[in-house]
């Protein structure tokens, strides 16, 4: 049988023998690993702070109708309209406007059909806007009903910390 140690350089054989000692651990000689670890920790902290500070909008969708003055009115179901009020952003197709007047109590479906000729299935808030009704106005609109930090949106259980419940 041939001597296998002759096919390797002597330095490689010595290094291998040194690592084979019982109880030896693998040693990493690169100094960048410590700096990379701390950079990763700082990056995670910065991401958490940013996610707690940056807010995103929550939207609810409702049907659109025309009011007697020829303006677009959004009929937003009462179950999703909590927090909607004057000045909130409204998106109707490509048109951006705001809720105009103060929001009344929700109307029953029969009252909405009588006033606006639109059939809804549940009590809804009537949100008037300043946008004029035009031919081809989108049948639905999105209304901003609130904002929340990105962190709360990603981890719903955190809503309790910000004074909201998970329902």
Name the residue with higher pLDDT: 44 or 63.
44
> What pLDDT shows up at residue 166?
44
Say whether pLDDT at 27 is over 70.
no
Lookup: tokens for 92: 């109707």
How crowded is the C-beta side of 164, counted as CA atoms within 13 Å?
16
pLDDT at 157 over 90: no
d(CA 104, CA 81): 12
pLDDT (0 to 100) of residue 31 = 77
Determine which helix (DSSP H) or strand (DSSP E) holds 132, and give its type and residue range.
strand 124-132
- pLDDT higher than 80, residue 115: yes
Average pLDDT value over all residues in the chain: 80
Residue 80 is encoded by which pair of tokens? 């999703």
State the Cα–Cα distance between residues 91 and 104, nearest whole angstrom. 20
Is-contact 63 118, C-beta < 8 A?
A: yes
Residue 126 burial by Cβ neighbours in a 10 Å radius (0-12, 13-18, 19+): buried
Residue 167: its pLDDT value, please? 44
Which whole number is the average pLDDT over 67-80? 84
Asked if residue 121 lies in contact with residue 62, where contact means CB atoms within 8 angstroms, the answer is no
Measured CA to CA in angstroms, residue 85 lies from 69, 104, 131, 148 at distances of: 20, 9, 16, 17
Question: What does DSSP assign to residue 106?
Answer: P
Interatomic CA distance for residues 65 and 118, integer angstroms = 7
In this model, does residue 51 exceed pLDDT 60? yes
State pLDDT tens for residues 86-103: 888 888 888 888 888 766
pTM of the model: 0.61
Do 21 and 109 touch, CB atoms closer than 8 A?
no
pLDDT tier at 126, thresholds 50, 70, 90: confident
pLDDT over 80 (residue 15): no
Domains of the chain and any CATH numbers = 55-162 (2.40.30)
19-23, 30-34, 81-85, 151-155: segment of lowest average pLDDT:
19-23
């Amino acid at each position: 049988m041939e001597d296998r140690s002759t096919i390797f350089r002597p330095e490689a054989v010595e290094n291998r023998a040194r690592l084979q000692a019982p109880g030896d651990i693998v040693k990493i000689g690169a100094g960048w690993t410590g700096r990379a670890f701390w950079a990763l920790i700082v990056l995670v902290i910065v991401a958490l702070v940013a996610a707690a500070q940056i807010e995103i909008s929550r939207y609810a969708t409702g049907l659109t109708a025309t009011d007697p003055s020829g303006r677009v009115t959004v009929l937003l179901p009462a179950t999703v309209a909590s927090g909607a009020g004057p000045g909130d952003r409204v998106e109707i197709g490509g048109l951006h406007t705001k809720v105009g007047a103060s929001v009344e109590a929700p109307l029953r479906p029969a009252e909405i059909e009588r006033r606006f000729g639109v059939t809804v299935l549940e009590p809804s808030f009537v949100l008037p806007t300043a946008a004029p009704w035009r031919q081809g106005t989108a049948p639905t609109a999105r209304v901003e009903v609130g904002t929340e930090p990105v962190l709360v949106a990603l981890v719903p259980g955190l809503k309790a910390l910000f004074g909201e419940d998970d329902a």
